[in-house]
Structure 1
Amino acid sequence: MAPKHKFAAREAVVRWLQETGHEPLVRVNAGDSPYQADDLAALGSLRVAGVIVPKVNTPRDLHALRVGWPAATLFPLIETAQGLEHATEIASVPGVGQLLLGALDLHADCGIDYPHPALLEHARLGLVLASRCAGIVAPIDTPHPAVREFEEVAKYARAFARPGFAGKLCIHPGQIASVADAFRPSEEQLQWARADGRCARGRLGECPAGAHCGIARARRPMARRLRPGDTALRGVPQMRR
């Protein structure tokens, strides 16, 4: 967003929060920009569910937020090679709720044309592993850049609903339904997850397959995915860098 529009955008977000009483995730400007401090001051005592922080390269980039807003849940956007390198450290910062992947900026930072399958796979696996190591909720996948290609959004959302992701970013309200449907557990998955702890080889706790047991795998989506009727990150006004 051009700097001349940032002040109007900030005012629009604050006004929307005051008028609606909603508690969304709000995206602020990056820590290395001259605008983040004003973003946080404008939010003041307004209630939000969390803060999306772009261009997080190291845990230091979350320092101002941790000091000025210690109770906030933070959602760092990993959009650079440095951020990907430090993903586990970033995920381990107190108050971090989930990691978010920003693949377009990651490609630009690496000087690679989008989309590059190997880079995308490396980044996605990196965030899944970092989240697991830090003990936080599974990460959120990068948004689909074509705003109105809703069928493509649905296809990519389904593709990454199973391999360790909890949701997918949306850049248009029309994408939300497709993403929510892709990440909502099926009835078959729910039945497996509600099983009584038995499998073909005995009780779950005694199963030699351990975490590889089908029931154990089936229960994970209930903890990390959307509940029926929920969406991923809802289409709300955001303060963009």
Structure 2
Amino acid sequence: MPKITRPLRSVLYIPGSKMRALDKARTLACDAIIFDLEDAVTPDEKTAARETLAAAFAEGGYGARLRVIRINGLDTTWGYDDARAAAAMKPDVILLPKVNSPADLEALAEITGDIPLWAMMETPAGMLNAPAIAAHRQLQAMVMGTNDLAKDLQTRFRADRLPLMTGLGLCVLAAKAHDCAIIDGVFNAFKDDDGLKVECDQGRDMGFDGKTLIHPAQLDVANAAFSPSEAETELARRQIDAFEQAEAAGQGVAVVDGKIIENLHVATARETLAKVKAIAALNAE
């Protein structure tokens, strides 16, 4: 499965049962939408939600936003019907909750064919099997389910997320080893922009590609946090220019702002500029 190269700074959950929310999502500045048939839909709405979501997909209008459908687990009453319905809607991605092993993804792929898959990483077993899950041939991204993980680990809430760091780190390592995208978990206090920014910055520093969000009010903070800043962009250009001049002079390293610049720094700088270009292209659509 090809690596995702598009921006995934902001990945917004939208209830698949709420037509008003599905309509509004067409206007929101998010990079991806998770159309949720799982946690955001009550048991008595599950069947109707498939029909509501199918009508929204048939209408279209979501532009360049990546369209992801999260189904219920295949171990639930609704999972198999969700999987078949989701495949018929032809989304960009199908997201499976509570993935414990590659076998869970394989069972889904038998139903949904070659549609790319994402995996919710939210159980202790999932953390321990992260490398094998990330290696699945159809997996394009891992999505952290930090609320469920915290519940299973019986942790206390901490703003620094220290109790979750082992799991977060294992999934980041697995994703990077297998060229998967990886999206951080949600921040529950949707009116706390300062707290959200702290958690977004932490996730970005760890290597996450973006953050899952529960409310449109969180979009601006996440988009800014996971976009290269003007200073980072300008530094990337100067690093590339300096290194190219050094190479032309027969030297293997350059110096920018008193710091040595080698091939690896230039590779990172080029990735930064490519991300800036991709974000600009997405914003233009």
TM-score (norm 1): 0.82
Matches of 1:203 and 1:213 in 2, distance apart?
14
2:69–2:86 CA contact under 8 A, matched in 1: no
1:216 and 2:259 matched: no
Q: How many residues align?
A: 230
What are the residue-to-residue correspondences of 1:42-191 with 2, within 5 Å? 42-115=85-158, 117-137=161-181, 139-191=182-234
1:11 and 2:54 matched: no
Give structure 2 stretches of 5+ with no counterpart. Answer: 1-40, 255-259
1:75–1:97 CA contact under 8 A, matched in 2: yes
Matches of 1:213 and 1:201 in 2, distance apart?
16
Q: Comparing 215-224 with 74-83, which one deviates more in the overlay?
A: 215-224
Cα deviation for residue 67 of structure 1 reads: 1.8
Matches of 2:217 and 2:268 in 1, distance apart?
31
Task: Give the match's secondary structure for 1:146.
Answer: coil
Higher normalized strand content (fraction of residues): 2
Larger radius of gyration: 2
What is the percent sequence identity of the aligned residues?
26
Cα deviation for residue 75 of structure 1 reads: 1.2
Matches of 1:56 and 1:229 in 2, distance apart?
33
Q: Quickly say closer, same or farther: Cα 1:61–1:223, change in 2 above 3 A.
A: farther
Matches of 2:112 and 2:247 in 1, distance apart?
45
Q: Comparing 214-223 with 62-71, which one deviates more in the overlay?
A: 214-223
Task: Give the match's secondary structure for 1:161.
Answer: helix
| Residue matched to 2:82 | 39
Matches of 1:84 and 1:222 in 2, distance apart?
32
State the one-letter code of the partner of 1:6: K
TM-score (norm 2): 0.70
1:140–1:169 CA contact under 8 A, matched in 2: yes
Matches of 1:143 and 1:170 in 2, distance apart?
5
Q: Comparing 111-120 with 202-211, which one deviates more in the overlay?
A: 202-211
Give structure 1 stretches of 5+ with no counterpart. Answer: 232-241
Matches of 2:115 and 2:186 in 1, distance apart?
23
State the one-letter code of the partner of 2:157: Y
Matches of 1:163 and 1:187 in 2, distance apart?
20
State the one-letter code of the partner of 1:16: A
Task: Give the match's secondary structure for 1:45.
Answer: helix
